[in-house]
Structure 1
């Protein structure tokens, strides 16, 4: 097995927190960032953090960098904070639209699996 700088716990928590695929997240970011100025650069529409998450999802574990590890931890912390608690206890739940958009901007759909 190739060496990795990501410990098992963070890897599992990140993939539990980020329940959208890279493609779904990129589509979401494009829709969220659509506007007059974003139309010329659709790949840059949406949150920068969301794009970092999508890029990490497309990587093999062995290819994750130290910067990626920092992003992964930020995302786990953000989703845990917004969802309120232990990542193992999350069930699909509806919330207000702003709350859901904030979660989806980093790859977590609270209504997804």
Structure 2
């Protein structure tokens, strides 16, 4: 039985975490809601917003073209989504318009999206 490599593992985790398509993420990043959340990266845009732009680039690449830097960012995305997903709002009815959801969406993960 073949074992999966760390590279395979992070790519699989990234595919599970990022449940928005490149087109969905690109459209989302243009909204005021997207721009309203996250830690300022120092240039007026949030760290998550920059991450979303990077995720779009990664999603457009073929697996064979992914670099070590891409894989490092994929790991960063997985870490963020895992950590942030565990910190959801106390009331489920707050989720659709929560800063929590908006922040996750900047990282390519919509917690309301099924499948």
Does the pair score TM above 0.5?
yes
Q: TM-score, normalised by structure 2?
A: 0.71
- 1:21 matched to which residue of 2? 21
Which aligned runs of 4 or more in structure 1 are off by greater than 4 angstroms?
none
Displacement of 1:49 in angstroms is: 0.9
Q: Which moved more, 1:52-61 or 1:5-14?
A: 5-14
* Gap regions ≥5 residues in structure 1: 35-45, 85-92
- Give yes or no for contact 1:17–1:79 (8 Å, CA) kept in 2: yes
Indicate the RMSD between aligned Cα atoms, in angstroms: 2.4
* Gap regions ≥5 residues in structure 2: 37-47, 87-91
Deviations along 1:37-96, whole A, 9 cap, x unmatched?
xxxxxxxxx811110001101111111111111110000000000112xxxxxxxx7636
Matched length: 91
Alignment of 1:1-113 (within 5 A): 7-31=7-31, 32-33=34-35, 47-84=49-86, 95=95, 97-113=98-114
2:28 is paired with a residue whose SS is: helix
**Distance in 2 between residues matched to 1:57 and 1:66, nearest whole Å:** 15
- Give yes or no for contact 1:6–1:69 (8 Å, CA) kept in 2: no
Displacement of 1:6 in angstroms is: 6.9
Q: TM-score, normalised by structure 1?
A: 0.72
2:112 is paired with a residue whose SS is: coil
